Amino acid sequence: MAVGLEFFRLPPEEKAKLYSDEPSKKIRLSTSFNVRKETVHNWRDYLRLHCHPLEEFVPDWPSNPETFKEIISTYCCEVRLLGLRLLGAISLGLGLEEDYIENVLGEQEQHMAVNYYPRCPKPDLTYGLPKHTDPNALTILLMDPHVSGLQVLKDGAQWIAVDPRPNALVVNLGDQLQALSNGAYKSVWHRAVVNAARERLSVASFLCPCNSAVIGPVAKLVGDGDEPVYRSYTYDEYYKKFWSRNLDQDHCLELFTGQK
């Protein structure tokens, strides 16, 4: 958290070396979500890093602050191990073999977003991020320990603040787990709000299927005589569709319902 905040407090001309609004760029500093598609922007800057395999991407990560690469890469390794343990527990909870979901997802990519939400003079006019679900499988979020901003949608009706807890991580289930479980697990709708008094930082780590992974409901989880809720697709197909839309549109997963 400290080295992430240190990065965002660098002079603008230093940070500008990493700026890009190209969503496919694997290491970039950007703003809002997808400025090429949006008509209304969000009150967020973020540093997007691809993290696996580390040796492929770390050389192009920021060298300023000096400790950035060492600290962030160590965190990436640990959070990946945690994510794989969680996927094993989810598999068991669905009555599957412990390594089932990990095997289906393939050699998973790992991305990180270091999110910076500056103080906002008119927080009622914007969001840090509007409501959305995550397109990947699993997201592990390290929250600012002092400033709240994350909200989740409960029962489709009420927004609930997720207040920071000391030494805790927040785990969001993404769209791919909803599809694989045939809807038994739900991808969580969430958003980020901003405030006028304090800046806020969060670090989101995304475990993503490999692009060629074929995602679809596990046959064992589809009831006898029932049709699967979602059709099969590759993650590459899903991810491209997700980025072709605005973040706050209807659930992207709804475009993949029914048999192909």
CATH number of the CATH domain containing 53: 2.60.120.330
Closest CA to 102 of 204, 180, 15, 46: 180
Q: Average per-residue pLDDT in the chain?
A: 93
Domain carrying residue 15: 1-255
DSSP 130-185: EEE--SSSEEEEE--SS---EEEEETTTEEEE----TT--EEEE-HHHHHHTTTSS
**Mean pLDDT throughout 22-30?**
88
**How far apart, in whole angstroms, are the C-alpha atoms of residue 254 and residue 21?**
27
Question: Is 127 inside a domain boundary?
Answer: yes
Asked if residues 114 and 203 have their Cβ atoms less than 8 Å apart, the reply is yes
CA distance 123 to 120: 5
DSSP letter at 58?
Answer: G
Instruction: State the pTM of this model.
Output: 0.93
Bridge partner residues of 29 (DSSP): 19, 47
DSSP state of 29: E
> Structural domain tally of the chain?
1
pLDDT tens digits for 90-109?
999 999 999 999 999 999 99
Residues 6+ apart with CB under 8 A from 36: 21, 23
Q: Does any domain span residue 260?
A: no
Establish if 17 belongs to a structural domain. yes
**Environment class of 144 (CB within 10 Å of its CB; exposed 0-12, middle 13-18, buried 19+):** buried
- Identity of residue 94: L
Quick one: average pLDDT of 131-160? Answer: 95
Percent of the chain past pLDDT 70, that is, above it, reads 97
Q: 113-129: b or e for each residue (b if 16 or more CB lie within 10 Å)? A: bbbbbeebeebeebbbb
User: How much is the pLDDT for 243?
Assistant: 82
Query: Distances from the Cα of 78 to the Cαs of 85, 111, 137, 177, 205, in angstroms?
Result: 11, 14, 17, 21, 11
pLDDT tens track for 166-201: 889 999 999 999 999 999 999 999 999 999 999 999
CB 65 within 8 A of CB 7: yes
Tell me whether residue 163 is in a domain. Answer: yes
Map residue 112 onto helix, strand or coil. Answer: strand
Residue 240 has pLDDT above 70, yes or no: yes
Interatomic CA distance for residues 193 and 131, integer angstroms: 10
Asked whether 90 and 207 are in contact (CB, 8 A), the reply is: no
